[in-house]
Amino acid sequence: MPDQNKEILSIILIGGLLALGLLLFVVIILFIYQKRQHAHEKEMVELKEKHEKELLRSQVEIQEKTLQAIGQELHDNIAAQLQLLMFPVSALTGAEFGNYSPPQFLKTIIDDVRHLAHSLHSDRIANIGIRMAIEFEVKALRKTNEVGIDFEVNDIESKKSLNPEKTVSLFRMFQESLNNALKHSKATHIKISLLFSTDDTLTLIIKDNGIGFNVAEKQHKPSASGGVGLMSMPNRAESIGAAFLINSGEGKGTTVTIVVHLS
């Protein structure tokens, strides 16, 4: 009997060890499977993010090429054709060209077309830099007397610079913000701040005293009266690694803040 009991105990012990080993094996297999599953999911997320970034970059590049082509067409053809109007007008008036002064409205149209062509040309924006590009827009806006406008730049600007891609994208966001303020806000005053900091960041702020709006509503339900730009600006910001914030409310005006790293 004692031998039989020992044999039974041995069988139980061996069976228990085998069951424990099998359980351990299953746990290890499940652990490896979950680890691989997590790795696969992480890889898929990374691939999706990479794809979205590439898609975003492609969209931005297509937009820039389109704007640049339009700007080039305006500069090379439209402005040139308008310039030719100077000659027929002088001929019709019977005035000698050397003594003839074209009508002011014609000069204004030509200047406006050239300004628009310059503001659309990406290479020019990249070459002159963000400060000068904004200054040109401010100067043109002040001529219209549509709104009061202030532009401030802090003193350390001369020691800092943006790369061409960031310069162009930041300027496009500035244009969109300014356009929204002029078209929709009914603002009487706009303040633009370009602030370079000692931690290698640049902050652009466009603030108006207009009627304001519900930001979430416009972003999620864009319409012909606005909202599309509010969706494109965050995409622009993301494409250059910038932070984008828009703060507004009905009757509270609108403030757009963009922070981008210089390096």
**Token pair in block for residue 146:** 């549509």
Average per-residue pLDDT for the chain: 78
Q: Output the pLDDT for position 71.
A: 64
CATH number of the domain residue 217 falls in? 3.30.565.10
pLDDT digit string (tens) for 79-111?
666 666 666 554 555 555 555 566 666 677 766
Identify each DSSP E strand in 166-253 by its residue range: 189-196, 201-208, 243-248
Q: Does 3 reside within a domain?
A: no
Q: What is the mean pLDDT of residues 256-262?
A: 93
Q: Does 95 reside within a domain?
A: no
- Helix/strand/coil for 193: strand
Indicate the pLDDT class of residue 236, thresholds 50, 70 and 90: confident
Percent of the chain with pLDDT over 90: 20
Q: Does 165 reside within a domain?
A: yes
Q: What is the DSSP letter of 77?
A: I
pLDDT digit string (tens) for 30-75?
888 888 888 878 887 777 777 666 666 666 666 666 666 676 666 5
What is the rounded distance in angstroms from the CA atom of residue 235 to the CA atom of residue 57? 9
Q: Does 24 reside within a domain?
A: no
Q: Does 55 reside within a domain?
A: no
Among the listed residues 171, 178, 177, 70, the one whose alpha carbon sits nearest the alpha carbon of residue 129: 171
Full domain range(s) for residue 243: 147-263
**Token pair in block for residue 25:** 């094996």
- Number of Cβ within 10 Å of residue 222's Cβ equals 15
Q: Does 43 reside within a domain?
A: no
pLDDT digit string (tens) for 126-162?
888 899 999 988 988 888 877 899 999 986 555 567 8
Q: What are phi and psi of 242, to 5 degrees?
A: -100, 155
What is the rounded distance in angstroms from the CA atom of residue 245 to the CA atom of residue 40? 34
In the predicted model, is pLDDT for residue 163 greater than 60? Answer: yes
Q: Does 243 reside within a domain?
A: yes
Q: Output the pLDDT for position 75.
A: 58
Burial of 106 (0-12, 13-18, 19+ CB in 10 A): middle
- Number of Cβ within 10 Å of residue 5's Cβ equals 9
Q: Does 249 reside within a domain?
A: yes
Q: Output the pLDDT for position 74.
A: 62
Range in 47-61, 190-204, 219-233, 244-258 the model is least confident about? 219-233
Helix or strand run (H / E) with residue 207: strand 201-208
Q: How many independent structural domains does the chain possess?
A: 1
In the predicted model, is pLDDT for residue 231 greater than 90? Answer: no
